[in-house]
Amino acid sequence: MTSISLLQPRFQKLKTLRAMAIGLAIGFAIPALADNLPEVQRLIKQGQYPQALEKIDAYLSSRPKDAQGRFLKGLIYTEMNKPADAIAVFTKLSEDYPELPEPYNNLAVLYAQQKQYDKARTALEMAIRTHPSYAIAYENLGDVYAKLASQAYDKALQLDNANSTTQNKLALIRDLITTSSKGNVKPQPAPVAAIAPVAAVAAKPAVAAAPSATIVTSTPGAASASPASKPTAVATAPAPAAAVATPTPAAAPTAAGSDDVVKAMNAWADAWSRKDMRAYLGAYANDFDTPKGMSRKAWEQEREQRIAGKGGNISVSFDTPQVTINGDKATAKFRQHYKATGLSSSTTKTLIFVRAGSKWLIKEENAR
């Protein structure tokens, strides 16, 4: 119970961060307290690491647990070529936020730089375990496997390592909040921002949580080449708890044609968070596939009981979805963050929408 009460403020901070990122992306005036982070990012971009470190330390002095700040600190140490310090930061971060794949990934990058490929492998496998569709981690893991293979061959065949000159650097992730659009697609144009420091820091897709964000994170391939959704486990949405509306930040649109789908998702998550049962149930199509084949009525009652019938706040948000549209059907895959009194969870979810006039309604809801 104590751990849960500890979790809550943390979550609030994350949201604050996201809000700041919105401000950044849209170009709003930035509140005095929060301007530290974009400033830090700017300093990193300019290569002024000692100054960036100073700022981030100041920032963290009042929020020692802040994930985004600590993540940036790890990045600064990495850039300053202080791998031991960077490893310490990312290790602690991964212990405090085991659900985040990015710290694991960056730990792996640092370990790989030190040729500690076994540790790099373990870290990447953790990243993938926390976030099963994480293309950068997969790519990095592939490279680590190749490195480990090369080491094994060196030992097997007593090679003097002459062939390791072709060392390709693993991709460091520069954004903390995972977007599922990185998931199943190769990190091509947009996610390259995550690899190449040249990409504009101010417009990071990962931290952009507003529909108005300008950066599109999914690649062209995402719309057509998304894997088939698995209709196996039918969603029993994270259940208990009840109300006090906390409007949740919505995710960025994924591709030009999918704005409407994302809008529908935002409305759905919003209604859920506000415990607005009419709006919530209205997001579902009449022929929605209810879980375990229960009747529509029974399902609606269950949802009512679990959403409106619980005390306390509910907050539902999601990372940038990966949306595939195929005629009148749309599939959205994303990571859903659910938070209520006594329960918080992050799940990978797939919503299948059908077009009804100008609206998209939920036909299937699958969680894994």
Partner 1 sequence: MKLGRKIALSGLAVALAAGAAARLKDQPATTPVTINELSAIALARTTPDASSQGSALPLIVSDSGPEEALTRILAEIEGNRLSNALQLTENLLRQHPNYRLAHLIKGDLLLARKQAINTFGALTDAPADKVADLRAEAIARLAAYREKPPADFVPRYLLQMQPDQRFAIVVDTKRSRLYLYENDLKNGGQPRFVADYYVTQGKLGAEKLVEGDKKTPVGVYHVTANLPRQKLADLYGSGAFPLNYPNEWDKRQGRGGSGIWLHGTPSDTFARPPRASDGCVVLTNQDLDVVAKNLQVGLTPVIISNSVEWLSLDDWARERSELNKSIDAWRTDWESRDTERYLTHYSKRFKAGEHDFAEFSAQKKQVNAGKEWIKLKIDNVSVFRNPGKDEVVVVTFDQDYRSNNLNNQMKKRQYWLREGNQWKIIYEGSA
- Candidate segments 138-146, 201-209, 220-228, 351-359, binder of partner 1 by CB under 8 A: 138-146
Task: Determine which residue in the list 142, 189, 231, 311 makes contact with partner 1, applying CB under 8 A.
Answer: 142
Q: Which is nearer to partner 1, 167 or 301 (CB)?
A: 167
User: With respect to partner 1, which residue has the nearer C-beta, 29 or 162?
Assistant: 162
The residues pairing with 329 across neighbouring beta strands, listed in sequence order, are 326, 354
Closest CB 150 distance from partner 1, rounded Å: 7
Token pair, residue 80, equals: 């300053």
Nearer to partner 1, 154 or 276 (CB): 154
225 binding partner 1? (CB under 8 A): no
**Single residue of 66, 102, 143, 365 touching partner 1 by CB under 8 A:** 143
Identify which of residues 1 and 156 has a Cβ nearer to partner 1 in the complex. Answer: 156
Q: Which of 35, 51, 33 is nearest to 43 (CA)?
A: 51
What CA–CA distances, in Å, run from 191 to 3, 12, 213, 259, 316?
34, 26, 15, 19, 25
Segment interacting with partner 1 (CB under 8 A) among 53-61, 148-156, 226-234, 236-244: 148-156
Where would I find the H helices in the chain?
Answer: 2-26, 36-45, 49-62, 67-79, 83-96, 101-113, 117-130, 135-157, 192-195, 220-224, 259-274, 277-282, 296-307
33 versus 146: smaller Cβ distance to partner 1: 146
CB-based burial label for 37 (10 Å; 0-12, 13-18, 19+):
buried
Mask for 150-179, x = binds partner 1 (CB under 8 A): xxxx-xxxxx---x----------------
Q: How many residues bind partner 1 (CB under 8 A)?
A: 16
- Using CB under 8 A as the binding rule, whether residue 148 contacts partner 1 is answered as yes
Three-state secondary structure readout of 130-198: HCCCCHHHHHHHHHHHHHHHHHHHHHHHCCCCHHHHHCCCCCCCCCCCCCHHHCCCCCCCCCHHHHCCC
Give me the least distance between CB of 115 and partner 1, in Å please. Answer: 15
Residues that bind partner 1 (CB under 8 A): 142-143, 145-146, 148-153, 155-159, 163
